[in-house]
Structure 1
Amino acid sequence: MSAAPRASTAGAVPGTLNLGNSVRALLRRSLEVYGDSPQAAGWLRMHLARFDEPLRVAIAGKVKAGKSTLLNALVGEAVAPTDAGECTRVVTWYQDGNSPKVILHPKDSPPRPLSIHRRDGALSFDLGGLPPDRIDRLVVDWPTQSLRGTTLIDTPGIDSLSAETSARSHQFLAPEDAPTAADAVIYLMRHLHSGDVRFLESFHDQGVARATAVNTIAVLSRADEIGVGRLDALMSAKRIASRYRSDDKLRDLCQTVVAVAGLLAQTGRTMQQVEFAALTELSTLPREGMDALLLSADRFVTSDTTAALNTEQRGSLLERFGLFGVRLGVTLIRQGVNDPAKLSAELVRRSGLDDLREVLNIQFTERRDLLKARSALLALDLVLHREPRTASAPLAVELERIMAGAHEFAELRLLTALRSGAVKVPDDARVEAEQLLGGEGGAPAARLGLDPSASADPSQSRQAAMEALSRWRRRAENPLSTRALADTARVVVRSCEGILATLPR
């Protein structure tokens, strides 16, 4: 994987730099012990190198959940095939590169490059007749700022009609005999189904310092379809996402739930002038005629209309925007959005993509070193269990010390326990504790519930942190506090002290 510049430490999670350094040192010591084991040494070197690479985020979900469409929306270009071809049945990595290229990695032969083609504006590549079950992965290099700090990994659909296709996703995301290659996961679902819960449970690590949903975000995808294409469809989807966020079971399995209309987001980021012109032409129709045209996909494509758009043009517009996107685009143009760039930005904003990108930045980017440290420790734990040696005993002790003693993991364990209800404290204390523990983001402003711009005023942040520290010290020392509240308070107190340590005086 190509390396990327180290992320700025501004706004980093308090303490993660020390944790990262401790884990790196432990990996180097482990390499001295396992240098003669090709498999173990390979895993350890890979995780050591991953500290200097972009964060690896996998996109998972059932078939037709909109994984490739969302990936294209996040990248801002149509780089991932969205049809039901063989490429969608293979784990595919998308990373920043100096020039566009695709490398095929077979399971039983050396990697080889594939030729790249454009079809209807989208990227496509031929697997050269090699069956998907003989392919380990595809790696797509694409020069773009969107992939500079994050490598996105598109996975085959779960619960596919093909058992082999589903197995490839499970094996990649939750392997039984190797460390997982992903640091974090975006899980797409059209609605909360028992199959979604089962998968999230299978990806949910168990054990000391591991039981945490910190590396998973759920996305209510294809959100525009929830309201049957009505203009208020996204509002309905956001209400459902909010309800899911308060679901006790789901809170235990993922950080949050975000509603996104993936098709609208992708089209908004890649809209062409000819498409803007077509929407403008439709906006000239009488309102009654336009409403009748949008009653169904078939009617929109085939009905007679005075608009200067033939059946093929309307079919192409429907494929790119969907009924919801067409209706929204026409409505916005009628309301005075008469510039392609402004319409594109408004479609993206209304799609929910900006909300998702903000969540990804708060939950994943700010925690990149913590997530990588966690991945590395899980890999080392697997090595120690698979290849126990006399010389590895001190490594196991140090691993246990980091997992049990690192405050970052104590925060994650408590955050998960509070969200799942395993630790019960009064609601007002629980809400504040979750925030101070990093449930809304790891940066000091997010933990303190301040506007991000408040970081420019360190005195305001310091005062808020001192007040929080004082409140939670009183809770920790109050003899009337329950055992659960007192234990929670002691962890939160240390988090407050960590926040204060990062703030300039």
Structure 2
Amino acid sequence: MTTTAPRQNLGSRARSLLRAALDEYGDSPRAAGWLRHHLDRFDEPLRLAIAGKVKAGKSTLLNALVGEEIAATDAGECTRVVTWYSDGPSPRIVLHPRRGEPRPLRTHRDEHGGLVIDLDGTDPETVDRLMVDWPSAGLRTTALIDTPGIASLTVDAAGRAGEFLTPEDAPGQADAVLYLMRHLHAADARFLESFHDRHVARATPVNTVAVLSRADEIGSGRLDALISARRIAGRYRTDEKLSTLCQTVVAVAGLLALTGRTLRQDEYLALRALAGVDPDVTEAMLLSADRFVAPPPSVVAALPDDVGGAGRAALLGRLGLFGIRTSLALLRQGTDAGAPPDAAALAAELVRRSGLDELREVLATQFAERRDLLKARSALLAVELVLRREPRPAATALATEVERVFASGHEFAELRLLAALRSRAVGLPPEVRDEAERLVGGAGTRTAVRLGLDPEADAATARAAAVEALQRWRRRATSPLSDRTTTDACGVVVRSIEGMLVSLTST
């Protein structure tokens, strides 16, 4: 069952407001251009920015999501520039300078087919952005935006990231943000707070998901590193402060995910050769990166000839110590069972263990399912900006309508309630609060998810569950023991359930 709760034409209301504002501001080139741009955005893929401090693994995770190496992962000049990646019929790179006309850059690939971006001598500080077209199914519904590191050693690069993500007098260009952190440091919290909008429609973490990136390093590369990382991510999800700043926290080993999605046959053969070595020998090598690349002569003598120092260094760069340990364990387990995995099976298992599949599911439920809401939100903020920058007496009615949509749109009411529930501002018992979060879309907007049912549940089962939930929450909403805050919260939940029933009745 894939039915979603009705959206009450929020997108249509936002489009109508944009068109009405265009009629009013058609004589202002700046305002009209801004409004047309946001009207066009409704038909574009969702814009997802990837942000975080330097060395958080932004480009690596972007490559893993796309399934190809198209973003530079070293500390080169391109990592200091905001770079947009979109689906296109053929590879193309266009440089947009801060001053002057855009110009194409030469497109070429490295020996393994990855994209190489060369600014051709252009100073990165003079570049506004790079636009990269790349044929990819992973970019058809979501455009990815790689941003320079927050708190970068280069002041200009850090400033450019902040300017793009949290402009002072305008809504950001991204519809949603994936924020990467290695641990929750003060700088991470400060950025999330700066990105956390303060408007009635913005006072919610709806458009931010945090990723505990480089999760394999948390356990010093041990085989149980990701278990530890997921436990930490779980604690972060229940942190009262962080839960008000982002939808959820996911642990991902980005390097493992990328290599799993791009594993080459020669790498698989090298790993299989190492898996045939005495486990005591390889475990001694894996005590450190230096020891793996340059082990003592006695260890080298026990290694196969086709896995030399250069090959081991290449494997280390592609997988890290955790990825090598995991790969060897998987290959040996397969051998014990009499059926060692081939390259495709090993690659799929590395991706599964990396946490990338969980992140993709989160992106689907938190962003893709809320695409209309996120785009409507961006459109309303665009109208609001124009009205604030160029106030006119005749635009008063527009301003009133913007506020009416923000205040009355049930989707926004759900988001405000989510923020209140996660900050414990509503006095509900834990189990009741968890149900309220689920019913208003905290775990996803599909009706089955909201009702806590199996995704394949039929409509009759869903209707029965919705009727039962509606009766329960109406009793809570009318209880004389509830304070005003609790009553209002229950009223929002009731309206969400009523919307589900309407949707189920119409199917």
Q: Does 1:114 align with 2:114?
A: no
Distance, in Å, in 2 between the alignment partners of 1:367 and 1:268 is: 29
Distance, in Å, in 2 between the alignment partners of 1:417 and 1:184 is: 20
Query: 1:421 Cα deviation (Å)?
Result: 2.0
Supply the AA of the counterpart residue of 1:247: D
Superposed, 1:364-375 pairs within 5 Å as 364-375=367-378
Supply the AA of the counterpart residue of 1:313: G
Q: Which residue of 1 aligns with 2:69?
A: 78
Q: Does 1:392 align with 2:395?
A: yes
Query: 1:13 Cα deviation (Å)?
Result: 4.7
Superposed, 1:21-32 pairs within 5 Å as 21-32=12-23
Query: 1:190 Cα deviation (Å)?
Result: 0.1
Which shows bigger deviation, 256-265 or 132-141? 132-141
Q: Which residue of 2 aligns with 1:260?
A: 252
Q: Does 1:291 align with 2:288?
A: no
- Following superposition, which runs of at least 4 residues in structure 1 exceed 6 angstroms of deviation? none
Distance, in Å, in 2 between the alignment partners of 1:203 and 1:306 is: 51
Which runs of 5 or more structure 1 residues have no equivalent in the other structure?
1-8
Distance, in Å, in 2 between the alignment partners of 1:482 and 1:181 is: 40
| Kept in 2: contact 1:93–1:140 (CA 8 A) | yes
| Kept in 2: contact 1:469–1:496 (CA 8 A) | yes
Q: Secondary structure at the match of 1:335?
A: helix
Render the CA deviation track for 1:476-497: whole Å, top value 9, x for unaligned.
1121223222111111100001
| Kept in 2: contact 1:43–1:179 (CA 8 A) | no
| Kept in 2: contact 1:89–1:132 (CA 8 A) | yes
Q: Secondary structure at the match of 2:369?
A: helix
Superposed, 1:141-160 pairs within 5 Å as 141-160=133-152
Q: Secondary structure at the match of 2:453?
A: coil
Q: Does 1:414 align with 2:417?
A: yes
Query: 1:382 Cα deviation (Å)?
Result: 1.3
Give the one of 209, 220, 225 matched to 2:201: 209
Distance, in Å, in 2 between the alignment partners of 1:321 and 1:58 is: 25
Q: Secondary structure at the match of 2:219?
A: coil
Distance, in Å, in 1 between the alignment partners of 2:256 and 2:333 is: 19
Which shows bigger deviation, 18-27 or 43-52? 43-52
Distance 1:90 1:257, change over 3 A: same
Supply the AA of the counterpart residue of 2:343: P
Render the CA deviation track for 1:291-349: whole Å, top value 9, x for unaligned.
10111101111112422211111100100000110110011011114211110000000
| Kept in 1: contact 2:293–2:309 (CA 8 A) | yes
Q: Which residue of 2 aligns with 1:430?
A: 433
| Kept in 2: contact 1:13–1:366 (CA 8 A) | no
Q: Does 1:334 align with 2:337?
A: no
Which shows bigger deviation, 475-484 or 70-79? 475-484
Distance, in Å, in 1 between the alignment partners of 2:445 and 2:156 is: 38
Distance, in Å, in 2 between the alignment partners of 1:420 and 1:278 is: 50
Distance, in Å, in 1 between the alignment partners of 2:467 and 2:121 is: 64
Query: 1:167 Cα deviation (Å)?
Result: 0.6
Query: 1:40 Cα deviation (Å)?
Result: 1.5
Q: Which residue of 1 aligns with 2:29?
A: 38
Distance, in Å, in 1 between the alignment partners of 2:36 and 2:492 is: 33
| Kept in 2: contact 1:425–1:484 (CA 8 A) | no
| Kept in 2: contact 1:186–1:219 (CA 8 A) | yes
**Count of residue pairs the alignment pairs up:** 494
Give the one of 310, 313, 319 matched to 2:311: 313
Q: Which residue of 1 aligns with 2:153?
A: 161
Supply the AA of the counterpart residue of 2:474: R
| Kept in 2: contact 1:96–1:143 (CA 8 A) | yes
Supply the AA of the counterpart residue of 2:416: R
Q: Which residue of 1 aligns with 2:169?
A: 177
| Kept in 2: contact 1:188–1:220 (CA 8 A) | yes
| Kept in 1: contact 2:2–2:448 (CA 8 A) | no
Distance, in Å, in 2 between the alignment partners of 1:424 and 1:134 is: 52
Q: Which residue of 2 aligns with 1:59?
A: 50
| Kept in 2: contact 1:221–1:262 (CA 8 A) | yes
Query: 1:210 Cα deviation (Å)?
Result: 1.7
Which shows bigger deviation, 172-181 or 408-417? 172-181
Query: 1:420 Cα deviation (Å)?
Result: 1.1
* TM-score normalised by L of structure 2: 0.96
| Kept in 1: contact 2:3–2:504 (CA 8 A) | no
Supply the AA of the counterpart residue of 2:100: S
Distance, in Å, in 2 between the alignment partners of 1:135 and 1:36 is: 31
Q: Secondary structure at the match of 1:192?
A: coil
Which runs of 5 or more structure 2 residues have no equivalent in the other structure?
335-339
Which shows bigger deviation, 210-219 or 428-437? 428-437
Q: Which residue of 1 aligns with 2:217?
A: 225
Render the CA deviation track for 1:33-90: whole Å, top value 9, x for unaligned.
1112222212211111111110000000000000000000000000101010010100
Q: Does 1:234 align with 2:226?
A: yes
Distance, in Å, in 2 between the alignment partners of 1:408 and 1:177 is: 25
Distance 1:232 1:502, change over 3 A: same
Supply the AA of the counterpart residue of 1:162: T
Supply the AA of the counterpart residue of 1:415: L
| Kept in 2: contact 1:105–1:136 (CA 8 A) | yes
* TM-score normalised by L of structure 1: 0.96
Q: Does 1:402 align with 2:394?
A: no
Render the CA deviation track for 1:85-121: whole Å, top value 9, x for unaligned.
0101000000000111111111111111111222242
Distance, in Å, in 2 between the alignment partners of 1:292 and 1:307 is: 16
Q: Which residue of 2 aligns with 1:6?
A: none
| Kept in 2: contact 1:12–1:367 (CA 8 A) | no
Query: 1:381 Cα deviation (Å)?
Result: 1.1
Distance, in Å, in 1 between the alignment partners of 2:64 and 2:72 is: 12
Which shows bigger deviation, 470-479 or 261-270? 470-479
Q: Secondary structure at the match of 2:456?
A: helix
Give the one of 454, 457, 478 matched to 1:451: 454
| Kept in 2: contact 1:445–1:451 (CA 8 A) | yes
Give the one of 373, 378, 381 matched to 1:378: 381
| Kept in 2: contact 1:11–1:366 (CA 8 A) | no
Which shows bigger deviation, 356-365 or 202-211? 202-211
Q: Secondary structure at the match of 1:452?
A: coil
Which shows bigger deviation, 475-484 or 144-153? 475-484
| Kept in 2: contact 1:67–1:154 (CA 8 A) | yes
Query: 1:178 Cα deviation (Å)?
Result: 2.9
Supply the AA of the counterpart residue of 1:219: V
Distance, in Å, in 2 between the alignment partners of 1:287 and 1:448 is: 49
Q: Does 1:486 align with 2:483?
A: no
Distance 1:37 1:10, change over 3 A: farther
Supply the AA of the counterpart residue of 2:38: H
Q: Does 1:301 align with 2:304?
A: no
Supply the AA of the counterpart residue of 2:34: W
| Kept in 2: contact 1:186–1:217 (CA 8 A) | yes
Q: Secondary structure at the match of 1:137?
A: strand
Query: 1:10 Cα deviation (Å)?
Result: 5.4
